[in-house]
């Protein structure tokens, strides 16, 4: 028994796929017996492992209607999932960065295929579908914003003008859905606003600067100003969970921080940078010495979970490194490295199962509430980004912040 959960309890958790298979039980027993116990290796070895896993996640969709996209991940219940438009969008920038760091030019070709797939599914009004292959799938504000990051990478790093056109078209769709107070309620989960949309707002802002579309940058500012009103004295954000009755995951907290951080850098606006810094320092104080963070936090950084959301830990590593770089907080780099080492200890580089080898689970232990019994592709993406950012500062995978001003100058 660990963390109040025993094997009998695990087997009774809601899970439609029956019977339990030996591979599932093996993964559970691994976490029961030795959670986060893998021996960390070099950044290079962990990066190769996670990039190879992402390549497999793309390859499993070959000969399918969604070929070119990246599977949303592997789950106990469904195995490999369909390609996910949102996360394929921001994996584009990860593959382009990894192509340089690992000297693997084939990753550029893979990124090109992702771009081609995304362009093929963009809707006439500029939005992107929230999911692929689901009857009646509707666009989602956040998802469209994340795909815009990939479109900007395609334009800025590969010179594909149609990518900027797609980003602008998506940006106008976002602007048309925006409420007068700056937030989004339509095309949102549960029709309520979310502060974590700031990560998409960052893409909207960068698109406006690059394309010299003033109304897009103004819309981005309106959302950021609304999001500021949701920050509490401790630095935590209200209205930032998937549902209003739950504490936000570390994952969505990290999204909110990143959006404020990068938007603040782009605009030179200390209000947004300060919002990111206060929240990031609050999270740093909550971090354990071994790098662990709780899966959810309430106000005043009160942990509300006994498991760790691995996606959020990787994202916080990114946030802390970026604040050490451009936020005037060099002390946060140590927190970033602790987070990386913690996630490393959960990554199974030598596992014989290709669905597991090199991937990153949603939670540690694997039955935690975030992406329970899953290996989501976005956990892998953010871990790869965290590793690369620590390996080489100037090779930050998200290209929007570093290159948006260059694009604005050349197109302004």
Name the strand (E) or helix (H) holding 74.
strand 73-75
Torsion sign over Cα 162, 259, 366, 388: positive
Q: What is the pLDDT of residues 108-133, one digit of tens each?
A: 999 999 999 999 999 999 999 998 87
Cis peptide before 345 (omega within 30 of 0): no
Q: Which domains does the chain have, with CATH numbers?
A: 39-411 (1.50.10.10)
Cα angle value 214/398/400 (rounded, 5°)? 15
Tens digit of each residue's pLDDT (9 = 90 or more) over 292-307? 999 999 999 999 999 9
- For the chain, the residue count is 412
Tell me, what's the pLDDT at 3?
Answer: 39
Q: How far apart are CA 358 and CA 387, in angstroms?
A: 13
Write down the pLDDT at residue 82: 96
Residue whose token pair is 């309890």: 9
State how far the Cα of 228 lies from the Cα of 201, in Å rounded to an integer: 13
List, as one string, the DSSP characters of 99-115: HHHTT-THHHHHHHHHH
8-state DSSP, 300:
G
Q: Which pLDDT score is estimated for 407?
A: 46
DSSP assignment of 365-377 equals: STTSSTTTTEEEH
3-state helix, strand, coil in the chain (%, to 5): 55, 5, 35
Phi-psi region of 126 (alpha: psi -120 to 50; beta: other; left: phi over 0): left
Q: Report d(CA 170, CA 324) in Å as an integer.
A: 32
Distance of CA 340 to the CA centre of its chain: 15
- Locus of tokens 């956990």: 379
CA pair distance 70, 62, nearest whole angstrom:
10
The dihedrals phi and psi of 273, each to the nearest 5 degrees, come to: -60, -40
Residues 6+ apart with CB under 8 A from 272: 224, 228, 260, 261, 263, 264
What b/e sequence results for 16-29 when a residue is b if at least 16 CB atoms lie within 10 Å of its CB, and e otherwise?
A: eeeeeeeebeebbe
Query: CA-to-CA distance for 291 and 313, rounded, in angstroms?
Result: 8
User: What residue has token string 């969008």?
Assistant: 89
pLDDT of residue 392: 84
Q: Token match 């005037």: residue?
A: 328
A 10 A CB-CB count for 161 gives 9
Map residue 225 onto helix, strand or coil: helix
State pTM to two decimals.
0.93
pLDDT < 50: residue spans in the chain: 1-4, 16-18, 407-412
* Dihedral sign (CA 266, 271, 276, 277): positive
Rg of the chain in Å (alpha carbons): 20
Contact 373, 73 (CB under 8 A): no
């Amino acid at each position: 028994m660990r963390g109040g959960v025993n094997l009998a309890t695990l087997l009774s958790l809601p899970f439609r796929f029956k019977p339990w298979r030996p591979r599932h039980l093996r993964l559970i027993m691994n976490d029961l017996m030795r959670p986060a116990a893998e021996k960390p290796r070099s950044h290079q070895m962990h990066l190769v492992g996670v990039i190879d896993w992402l390549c497999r996640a793309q390859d499993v969709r070959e000969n399918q209607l969604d070929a070119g996209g990246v599977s949303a991940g592997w789950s106990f219940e469904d195995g490999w999932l369909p390609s996910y438009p949102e996360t394929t969008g921001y994996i584009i920038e990860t593959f382009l960065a990894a192509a340089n760091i690992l000297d693997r030019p084939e990753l550029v070709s893979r990124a090109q295929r992702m771009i081609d797939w995304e362009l093929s599914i963009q809707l006439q009004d500029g939005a992107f579908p929230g999911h692929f292959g689901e009857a009646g799938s509707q666009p989602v504000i956040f998802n469209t914003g994340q795909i815009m990051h990939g479109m900007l990478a395609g334009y800025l790093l590969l010179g594909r003008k149609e990518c900027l056109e797609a980003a602008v078209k998506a940006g106008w769709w976002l602007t048309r859905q925006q409420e007068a107070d700056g937030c989004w309620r339509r095309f949102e989960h549960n029709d309520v606003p979310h502060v974590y949309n700031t990560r998409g707002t960052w893409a909207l802002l960068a698109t406006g600067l690059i394309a010299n579309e003033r109304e897009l940058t103004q819309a981005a500012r309106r959302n950021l100003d609304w999001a500021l009103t949701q920050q509490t004295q401790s630095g935590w954000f209200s209205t930032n969970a998937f549902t209003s009755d739950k504490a936000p995951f570390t994952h969505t907290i990290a999204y909110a921080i990143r959006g404020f951080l990068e938007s603040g850098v782009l605009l030179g606006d200390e209000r947004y940078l300060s919002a990111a810094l206060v929240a990031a320092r609050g999270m740093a104080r909550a971090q354990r010495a071994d790098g662990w963070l709780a899966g959810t936090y309430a106000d005043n950084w009160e942990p509300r979970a006994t498991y760790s959301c691995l996606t959020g830990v990787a994202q916080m590593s990114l946030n802390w490194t970026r604040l050490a770089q451009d936020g005037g907080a060099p002390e946060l780099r140590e927190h970033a490295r602790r987070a990386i080492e913690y996630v490393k200890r959960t990554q199974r580089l030598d596992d014989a199962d290709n669905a597991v080898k090199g991937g990153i689970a949603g939670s540690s232990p694997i039955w935690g509430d975030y992406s329970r019994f899953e290996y989501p592709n976005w956990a892998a993406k953010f871990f790869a980004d965290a590793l690369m950012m620590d390996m080489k500062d100037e090779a930050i995978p998200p290209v929007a912040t570093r290159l948006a001003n260059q694009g604005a100058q050349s197109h302004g």
